[in-house]
């Protein structure tokens, strides 16, 4: 396999050969500093020295990036915005492939009239996984993440109950009527997530009664906002926490008993992805809802109540997803980083409508899930792309890649190969780099 394919699994950046947080740019030169953290002590009039080894030094990349072209100013601003964001981000490096990194120093921008239409940006970054392992202190990440997710669920339920109560406790029937459509939408979205996860796991998910109750009686439950919020959260937690908890059932085609936790890691990861997708759909509920006229006081209160309901579902889904990552299997570093990136993006969107009481628990969940998934990603192999050189069956390709033809099923499932006995030359496959 060419070295370009090994280090850049995603080479869809057109002319650019690198990117950070999805923003493409060009790189011609880059430096990597690493090694050991050593302290050398010299003695007067003595040729010998004393060397103290404090462990491995973090890898630091010095990158000279540039953007060029008619729209270079827009590309420059997008890159500077990405570099100024907090937290780790995905770097696609032309020589080292995908890395999760943290910016470690201020960036420097160079522009001149002699080189119009181009901006050079120099920045430094460190491997986030290495930094995590070196700096981790305090409670174990799993324990802290579980506590942070529970705290966010509690606060989201309390805040949503208070915000949806506005008008309802005063006997304003229109308040309940205005929320009925949104409640129906939430019930349908939760039912869809329930069906998706159940189909993926091949087992009955233990939220059936809660989902049926929400689907049928969601509007009537609005007269008791606290009970409604509890019902919503219970259903979401059971659905997104279902991986590995379901009772064995039978495959409808073969009749063989199956479980939600198959032995093969690649089958586990495929079912885990279905859980994540269902959760992220819930975390996006209401973003495309039609606007409400807020020119009147009634319209403002109606919009606030609907926002509170959507906020409840989104926050509950994000917290439940964060907790689910403790048990969901990831088969590659890319999968763990992708889940982390999507969770961070969901939290960043959620915080825009958060109350003051939620800010602390959101920040704690953000930190906890970042530390957990980074520690998971650091132990996993990376995905790469392999171009099939000649027509061959999947098992032959698996033997070429892994020395094990039995992993042909893994390639078939990961790449959705329609004809496992004939994979055409030139086909680009995703494969684990081991």
Domain 3-33+59-135 CATH (choose: 3.40.30, 1.20.1420, 2.40.30, 3.40.720): 2.40.30
Q: What is the DSSP letter of 425?
A: T
What pLDDT is attached to residue 22? Answer: 83
In angstroms, the CA 145 to CA 138 distance is: 12
In angstroms, the CA 202 to CA 212 distance is: 19
What pLDDT is attached to residue 25? Answer: 93
Q: How confident is the model at residue 266 (pLDDT cuts 50, 70, 90)?
A: low
The reported pTM is 0.61
248 and 203 in contact (C-beta within 8 Å)?
Answer: yes
Q: How confident is the model at residue 258 (pLDDT cuts 50, 70, 90)?
A: very low
Report how far apart, in Å, the C-alpha atoms of 391 and of each of 5, 32, 396, 402, 415 are. Answer: 19, 39, 10, 18, 16
Instruction: Count CB neighbours of 111 within 10 A.
Output: 15
Q: What SS3 class is residue 431? A: strand
58 pLDDT above the threshold of 70: yes
Report how far apart, in Å, the C-alpha atoms of 271 and of each of 299, 330, 334 are. Answer: 42, 10, 16
In angstroms, the CA 58 to CA 35 distance is: 8
What pLDDT is attached to residue 120? Answer: 92
pLDDT digits (tens, 9 = 90+) for 64-97: 999 998 888 899 999 999 898 877 788 888 888 8
Average pLDDT over residues 404-408: 79
Cross-strand bridge partners of residue 49: 42
126 pLDDT above the threshold of 60: yes
Q: At what angle do helices 141-165 and 225-240 cross, to 10 degrees?
A: 150
Average pLDDT over residues 268-290: 79
Minimal CA–CA distance to 92: which of 13, 4, 19? 19
What pLDDT is attached to residue 14? Answer: 43
In angstroms, the CA 380 to CA 113 distance is: 46
Q: How confident is the model at residue 259 (pLDDT cuts 50, 70, 90)?
A: very low
Greatest C-alpha distance within the chain: 92
Q: What percent of the chain has pLDDT over 90?
A: 8
Cross-strand bridge partners of residue 31: 62
């Amino acid at each position: 396999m060419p070295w370009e394919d090994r280090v850049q699994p995603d080479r869809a950046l057109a002319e650019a050969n690198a990117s950070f947080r999805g923003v493409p740019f060009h790189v011609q030169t880059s430096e990597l500093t690493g090694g050991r953290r050593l302290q050398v002590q010299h003695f007067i009039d003595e040729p010998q020295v004393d060397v103290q080894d404090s462990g491995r030094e973090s890898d630091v990349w010095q990158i000279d990036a540039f953007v060029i072209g008619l729209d270079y100013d827009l590309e420059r601003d997008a890159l500077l915005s990405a570099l100024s964001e907090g937290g780790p981000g995905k770097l696609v490096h032309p020589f080292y492939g995908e890395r999760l990194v943290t910016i470690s120093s201020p960036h420097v921008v160079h522009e001149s009239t002699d080189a119009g239409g181009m901006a050079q940006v120099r920045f430094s970054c460190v491997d986030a996984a290495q930094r995590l392992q070196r700096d981790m202190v305090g409670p174990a990440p799993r324990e802290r993440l579980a506590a942070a997710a529970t705290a966010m669920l509690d606060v989201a339920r309390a805040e949503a109950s208070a915000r949806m109560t506005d008008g309802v406790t005063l006997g304003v029937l229109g308040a309940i009527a205005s929320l009925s459509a949104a409640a129906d939408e939430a019930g349908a979205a939760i039912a869809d997530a329930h069906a998706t996860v159940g189909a993926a796991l091949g087992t009955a998910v233990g939220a059936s009664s809660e989902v049926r109750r929400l689907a049928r009686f969601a509007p009537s439950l609005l007269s008791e906002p606290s009970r409604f919020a509890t019902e919503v959260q219970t259903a979401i937690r059971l659905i997104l926490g279902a991986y590995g908890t379901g009772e064995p059932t039978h495959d409808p085609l073969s009749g063989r008993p199956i479980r939600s936790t198959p032995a093969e890691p690649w089958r586990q990861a495929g079912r885990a992805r279905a859980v994540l997708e269902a959760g992220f759909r819930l975390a996006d509920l209401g973003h495309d809802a039609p606007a409400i006229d807020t020119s009147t006081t009634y319209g403002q209160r109606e919009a606030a109540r609907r926002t509170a309901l959507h906020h409840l579902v989104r926050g509950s889904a994000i917290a439940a997803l964060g907790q689910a990552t403790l048990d969901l299997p990831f088969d590659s570093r890319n999968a763990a980083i992708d889940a982390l990136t999507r969770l961070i993006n969901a939290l960043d969107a959620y915080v825009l409508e958060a109350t003051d009481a939620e800010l602390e628990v959101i920040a704690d969940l953000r930190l906890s899930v970042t530390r957990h998934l980074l520690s998971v990603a650091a132990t996993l192999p990376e995905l790469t792309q392999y171009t099939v050189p000649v027509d061959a069956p999947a098992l032959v390709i698996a033997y070429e890649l892994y020395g094990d033809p039995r992993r042909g099923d893994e390639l078939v499932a990961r790449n959705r190969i329609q004809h496992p006995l004939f994979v055409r030359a030139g086909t680009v496959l995703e494969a684990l780099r081991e």
